[in-house]
Chains A and B, each alone.
Chain A
Amino acid sequence: EAGVTQFPSHSVIEKGQTVTLRCDPISGHDNLYWYRRVMGKEIKFLLHFVKESKQDESGMPNNRFLAERTGGTYSTLKVQPAELEDSGVYFCASSSDREARETQYFGPGTRLLVL
């Protein structure tokens, strides 16, 4: 069974540009999460989807960040326009049953560098 995959693995962009990150969860997982690790600090929650619905986006830093999950399968996280402080590693995770609090499985992350 394939794990959580993320694309691209690395992205280097200039301040003011737009970047779109993609996450493919484990097949059949309704729950999809985005997290971010900035500057070697702790990994922080950004938002949570159940199927195509946003359940909680309280961790999104500001309105430059837009997450979507059309059709309840893969998800994208767009940063527009990117700022220097957006640099970090963006992780995606998925789980099967939120009510049962099943373990979240993480992808390898996308390393974003904004210059």
Chain B
Amino acid sequence: ELKVEQNPLFLSMQEGKNYTIYCNYSTTSDRLYWYRQDPGKSLESLFVLLSNGAVKQEGRLMASLDTKARLSTLHITAAVHDLSATYFCAVDAGTYKYIFGTGTRLKVLA
């Protein structure tokens, strides 16, 4: 059974700092998603990573995928308050089900 571990669960960081959220999964997958959720809002798709070594960047967020290590990272560069949200990784193991991590609640302090 595919399991996804995401850490940290909570992250409080100062504006301008860098940090990384980690997403490990237990079995082979070639597709990984990162979502962002603001309170009371929909999960917003941030990145779709489709192959080993894939790297995608959008603004201050950069996501990467290492399928051999079964690891994805979401790197935050020079955080700003607007990035405060809960971030989820989700793995598609070749079926239509997404297996989610527990989410990382990020709070960026001014």
Binds A, one of B52-60, B62-70, B93-101: B93-101
Asked, given contacts A41-B102, A42-B101, A103-B33, whether A31 binds B42 with beta carbons under 8 Å apart, the answer is no
Q: Are B42 and A101 in contact, CB atoms less than 8 angstroms apart?
A: no
Asked, given contacts A33-B96, A42-B4, A42-B103, whether A108 binds B41 with beta carbons under 8 Å apart, the answer is yes
Which of A31, A56, A59, A108 has the most B CB atoms < 10 Å from its CB?
A108
Complex Cα gap A35–B90 (Å): 12
B2 → A minimal CB distance (Å): 11
B44 → A minimal CB distance (Å): 8
B105 → A minimal CB distance (Å): 9
Asked, given contacts A43-B88, A43-B100, whether A101 binds B40 with beta carbons under 8 Å apart, the answer is no
Q: Are B102 and A42 in contact, CB atoms less than 8 angstroms apart?
A: yes
B54 → A minimal CB distance (Å): 15
Give B75-110 as 1s and 0s: 1 = Cβ < 8 Å from A's Cβ atoms. Answer: 000000000000010101000111111110000000
Q: Which residues of chain A (75-108) have a CB below 8 Å from chain B?
A: 91, 93, 95, 98, 101, 103-108
Which of A33, A35, A104 has the most B CB atoms < 10 Å from its CB?
A104
Given contacts A105-B42, A106-B43, A109-B42, 20 further A-B contacts (CB under 8 A): A33-B96, A33-B97, A35-B98, A42-B100, A42-B103, A43-B88, A43-B98, A43-B100, A45-B98, A48-B96, A93-B43, A95-B96, A98-B96, A101-B92, A101-B96, A103-B33, A103-B45, A106-B35, A106-B42, A108-B40
Task: List residues of B whose CB falls within 8 A of some A CB.
Answer: 4, 31, 33, 35, 40-43, 45, 48, 88, 90, 92, 96-103
6 smallest beta-carbon distances between A and B, as pairs: A106-B43, A43-B100, A45-B97, A108-B42, A42-B100, A42-B102
What are 20 A-B contacts with C-beta separation under 8 Å? A3-B42, A31-B96, A33-B96, A33-B97, A35-B98, A42-B4, A42-B101, A42-B102, A42-B103, A48-B96, A91-B43, A95-B96, A98-B96, A103-B33, A103-B48, A104-B98, A106-B42, A106-B43, A108-B42, A109-B42
